[in-house]
Protein backbone atom coordinates (compact mmCIF):
# COMPACT_ATOMS: atom_id res chain seq x y z
CA UNK A 1 0.00 0.00 0.00
CA UNK A 2 1.24 3.50 -0.86
CA UNK A 3 -0.01 6.31 1.34
CA UNK A 4 0.73 9.95 2.06
CA UNK A 5 1.87 10.65 5.59
CA UNK A 6 3.90 13.19 7.55
CA UNK A 7 6.63 13.28 4.93
CA UNK A 8 4.57 15.77 2.92
CA UNK A 9 3.52 17.83 5.92
CA UNK A 10 6.41 20.26 5.42
CA UNK A 11 4.59 21.71 2.41
CA UNK A 12 1.37 22.45 4.27
CA UNK A 13 2.14 26.02 5.36
CA UNK A 14 2.97 27.34 1.90
CA UNK A 15 -0.10 25.68 0.42
CA UNK A 16 -2.55 26.69 3.15
CA UNK A 17 -3.99 29.45 0.94
CA UNK A 18 -5.34 26.89 -1.51
CA UNK A 19 -6.29 23.91 0.70
CA UNK A 20 -8.88 22.38 -1.62
CA UNK A 21 -6.61 22.61 -4.66
CA UNK A 22 -3.67 21.30 -2.64
CA UNK A 23 -5.62 18.25 -1.50
CA UNK A 24 -6.71 17.57 -5.09
CA UNK A 25 -3.11 17.96 -6.30
CA UNK A 26 -1.90 15.51 -3.66
CA UNK A 27 -4.58 12.98 -4.58
CA UNK A 28 -3.84 13.32 -8.32
CA UNK A 29 -0.11 12.95 -7.70
CA UNK A 30 -0.65 9.94 -5.48
CA UNK A 31 -2.78 8.31 -8.17
CA UNK A 32 -0.28 9.13 -10.90
CA UNK A 33 2.68 7.72 -9.00
CA UNK A 34 0.60 4.82 -7.68
CA UNK A 35 -0.49 3.80 -11.18
CA UNK A 36 3.13 3.70 -12.34
CA UNK A 37 4.05 1.55 -9.34
CA UNK A 38 1.04 -0.72 -9.90
CA UNK A 39 2.33 -1.52 -13.40
CA UNK A 40 5.81 -2.23 -12.01
CA UNK A 41 4.37 -4.53 -9.33
CA UNK A 42 2.31 -6.39 -11.91
CA UNK A 43 5.38 -6.97 -14.06
CA UNK A 44 7.27 -8.22 -11.01
CA UNK A 45 4.39 -10.58 -10.18
CA UNK A 46 4.45 -12.05 -13.66
CA UNK A 47 8.15 -12.81 -13.39
CA UNK A 48 7.80 -14.03 -9.81
CA UNK A 49 4.96 -16.47 -10.43
CA UNK A 50 6.03 -17.67 -13.89
CA UNK A 51 2.54 -17.08 -15.33
CA UNK A 52 2.44 -16.90 -19.14
CA UNK A 53 -0.02 -14.04 -19.59
CA UNK A 54 0.48 -10.57 -18.15
CA UNK A 55 -3.30 -10.25 -18.38
CA UNK A 56 -3.70 -13.02 -15.81
CA UNK A 57 -1.97 -10.77 -13.28
CA UNK A 58 -3.94 -7.68 -14.34
CA UNK A 59 -7.22 -9.56 -13.85
CA UNK A 60 -6.21 -10.41 -10.29
CA UNK A 61 -4.93 -7.01 -9.14
CA UNK A 62 -6.75 -3.75 -8.57
CA UNK A 63 -6.15 -0.29 -7.15
CA UNK A 64 -8.00 1.68 -4.50
CA UNK A 65 -7.39 5.22 -5.66
CA UNK A 66 -6.85 8.35 -3.60
CA UNK A 67 -9.25 11.28 -3.27
CA UNK A 68 -8.86 14.69 -1.60
CA UNK A 69 -10.54 13.35 1.52
CA UNK A 70 -8.66 10.05 1.55
CA UNK A 71 -4.98 10.43 0.63
CA UNK A 72 -4.17 6.78 0.25
CA UNK A 73 -3.53 4.54 -2.74
CA UNK A 74 -3.54 0.76 -2.36
CA UNK A 75 -2.62 -2.07 -4.72
CA UNK A 76 -4.62 -5.19 -3.92
CA UNK A 77 -4.35 -8.79 -5.02
CA UNK A 78 -7.55 -10.82 -5.38
CA UNK A 79 -8.76 -14.32 -6.19
CA UNK A 80 -7.48 -17.78 -5.40
CA UNK A 81 -4.70 -19.73 -7.07
CA UNK A 82 -4.42 -19.27 -10.82
CA UNK A 83 -5.50 -22.25 -12.97
CA UNK A 84 -2.51 -24.38 -13.86
CA UNK A 85 -3.15 -23.77 -17.56
CA UNK A 86 -1.96 -20.20 -17.02
CA UNK A 87 1.57 -21.59 -16.64
CA UNK A 88 3.83 -23.52 -19.01
CA UNK A 89 2.39 -27.02 -18.82
CA UNK A 90 2.97 -30.43 -20.34
CA UNK A 91 0.19 -33.00 -20.22
CA UNK A 92 -1.09 -35.98 -22.18
CA UNK A 93 -4.00 -38.37 -21.75
CA UNK A 94 -3.09 -41.07 -19.20
CA UNK A 95 0.06 -39.19 -18.24
CA UNK A 96 0.77 -36.96 -15.22
CA UNK A 97 0.61 -33.18 -15.51
CA UNK A 98 3.89 -31.27 -15.30
CA UNK A 99 3.79 -27.47 -14.99
CA UNK A 100 6.14 -24.63 -14.07
CA UNK A 101 4.55 -22.36 -11.45
CA UNK A 102 7.17 -19.99 -9.97
CA UNK A 103 9.32 -21.00 -12.95
CA UNK A 104 10.06 -24.39 -11.38
CA UNK A 105 9.02 -27.67 -12.99
CA UNK A 106 6.59 -29.65 -10.83
CA UNK A 107 4.74 -32.90 -11.54
CA UNK A 108 1.42 -33.21 -9.73
CA UNK A 109 0.79 -36.51 -7.97
CA UNK A 110 -2.16 -38.56 -9.29
CA UNK A 111 -2.76 -35.94 -12.00
CA UNK A 112 -4.07 -36.52 -15.51
CA UNK A 113 -5.58 -34.90 -18.58
CA UNK A 114 -9.17 -35.86 -19.34
CA UNK A 115 -9.74 -37.41 -22.73
CA UNK A 116 -13.13 -35.75 -23.37
CA UNK A 117 -12.45 -32.04 -22.68
CA UNK A 118 -8.71 -31.98 -22.05
CA UNK A 119 -9.16 -30.77 -18.47
CA UNK A 120 -6.22 -30.97 -16.07
CA UNK A 121 -7.23 -32.74 -12.88
CA UNK A 122 -5.84 -34.79 -9.99
CA UNK A 123 -7.35 -37.52 -7.82
CA UNK A 124 -7.56 -36.72 -4.13
CA UNK A 125 -6.63 -40.24 -3.13
CA UNK A 126 -5.99 -43.72 -4.46
CA UNK A 127 -9.60 -44.19 -5.63
CA UNK A 128 -10.95 -42.83 -8.91
CA UNK A 129 -13.07 -40.16 -7.21
CA UNK A 130 -13.14 -37.46 -5.93
CA UNK A 131 -10.97 -35.35 -8.21
CA UNK A 132 -9.80 -31.73 -8.01
CA UNK A 133 -8.69 -28.95 -10.33
CA UNK A 134 -5.03 -27.91 -10.38
CA UNK A 135 -3.95 -24.43 -9.36
CA UNK A 136 -0.74 -22.43 -9.14
CA UNK A 137 0.27 -19.33 -7.13
CA UNK A 138 -2.36 -17.01 -5.65
CA UNK A 139 -1.77 -13.30 -6.31
CA UNK A 140 -2.96 -12.10 -2.82
CA UNK A 141 -0.20 -14.20 -1.26
CA UNK A 142 2.45 -13.37 -3.85
CA UNK A 143 1.99 -9.60 -3.87
CA UNK A 144 3.41 -9.18 -0.37
CA UNK A 145 6.63 -11.13 -0.85
CA UNK A 146 9.70 -11.75 -3.01
CA UNK A 147 10.15 -9.71 -6.22
CA UNK A 148 6.88 -7.79 -6.05
CA UNK A 149 7.44 -6.75 -2.43
CA UNK A 150 11.05 -5.77 -3.21
CA UNK A 151 9.90 -3.65 -6.16
CA UNK A 152 7.35 -1.86 -4.01
CA UNK A 153 9.75 -1.18 -1.14
CA UNK A 154 12.48 0.09 -3.46
CA UNK A 155 10.50 2.39 -5.74
CA UNK A 156 6.97 3.21 -4.54
CA UNK A 157 7.80 6.12 -2.22
CA UNK A 158 10.07 7.85 -4.74
CA UNK A 159 7.59 7.54 -7.59
CA UNK A 160 4.70 8.84 -5.51
CA UNK A 161 6.59 11.75 -3.98
CA UNK A 162 7.97 12.81 -7.36
CA UNK A 163 4.46 12.92 -8.84
CA UNK A 164 3.02 14.76 -5.83
CA UNK A 165 5.80 17.37 -5.80
CA UNK A 166 5.27 18.08 -9.48
CA UNK A 167 1.57 18.77 -8.99
CA UNK A 168 1.98 20.77 -5.78
CA UNK A 169 4.62 22.93 -7.46
CA UNK A 170 2.01 24.22 -9.91
CA UNK A 171 0.03 25.74 -7.02
CA UNK A 172 2.81 27.76 -5.41
CA UNK A 173 2.76 31.58 -5.55
CA UNK A 174 5.05 33.22 -8.05
CA UNK A 175 8.55 33.45 -6.64
CA UNK A 176 8.51 30.04 -4.97
CA UNK A 177 9.33 26.60 -6.20
CA UNK A 178 9.06 23.11 -4.78
CA UNK A 179 11.87 20.62 -4.97
CA UNK A 180 15.59 20.56 -4.11
CA UNK A 181 17.94 23.50 -3.63
CA UNK A 182 19.75 24.51 -6.82
CA UNK A 183 17.21 22.60 -8.91
CA UNK A 184 14.40 24.48 -10.64
CA UNK A 185 12.24 21.44 -11.31
CA UNK A 186 12.24 17.91 -9.97
CA UNK A 187 11.20 15.37 -12.61
CA UNK A 188 9.93 12.02 -11.26
CA UNK A 189 13.16 10.32 -12.37
CA UNK A 190 15.17 12.37 -9.82
CA UNK A 191 12.75 11.98 -6.92
CA UNK A 192 15.07 9.63 -5.00
CA UNK A 193 18.01 12.01 -5.27
CA UNK A 194 15.78 14.87 -4.20
CA UNK A 195 14.53 12.93 -1.17
CA UNK A 196 18.12 12.52 0.04
CA UNK A 197 18.54 16.32 -0.10
CA UNK A 198 15.41 17.01 2.02
CA UNK A 199 13.13 18.60 -0.61
CA UNK A 200 11.06 21.55 0.45
CA UNK A 201 9.57 24.89 -0.63
CA UNK A 202 12.20 27.55 -1.35
CA UNK A 203 12.14 31.21 -2.45
CA UNK A 204 13.46 31.57 -5.98
CA UNK A 205 16.49 33.87 -5.99
CA UNK A 206 16.99 36.12 -9.04
CA UNK A 207 19.89 33.96 -10.22
CA UNK A 208 17.60 30.92 -10.28
CA UNK A 209 14.97 32.36 -12.64
Show pLDDT as tens, one digit a residue, over the chain (209 residues). Answer: 444 444 455 555 555 655 788 889 999 999 999 999 999 999 999 999 999 999 999 999 999 999 998 889 999 999 999 999 999 999 998 899 999 999 999 999 999 999 888 899 999 999 989 999 999 999 999 999 999 999 999 999 999 999 998 898 888 766 566 655 443 444 444 445 544 444 444 444 433 33
The pTM of the full predicted model, rounded to 2 decimals, is 0.77
Q: What is the structure's pLDDT at 198?
A: 40
CB atoms closer than 10 angstroms to residue 52: 15
- The reported pLDDT for the residue numbered 66 is 92
d(CA 5, CA 185): 23
* Per-residue pLDDT, 170: 83
CB 145 within 8 A of CB 122: no
Using alpha carbons, select from 65, 60, 61 the residue that is nearest to residue 3.
Answer: 65
Q: Which residues, including other chains, have CB under 8 Å from residue 205's CB and lie 6 or more apart?
A: none
pLDDT computed for residue 15 by the predictor: 58
Spatial distance between the Cα atoms of 177 and 158, rounded to a whole number of angstroms: 19
Amino acid sequence: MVSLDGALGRYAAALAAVPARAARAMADGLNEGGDVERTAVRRALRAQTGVKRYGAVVERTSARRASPGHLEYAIDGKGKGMPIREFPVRAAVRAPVTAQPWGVSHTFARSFKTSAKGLLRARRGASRFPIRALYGPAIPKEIVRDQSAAEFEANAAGRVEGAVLKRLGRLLPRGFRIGCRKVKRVPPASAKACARQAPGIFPVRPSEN
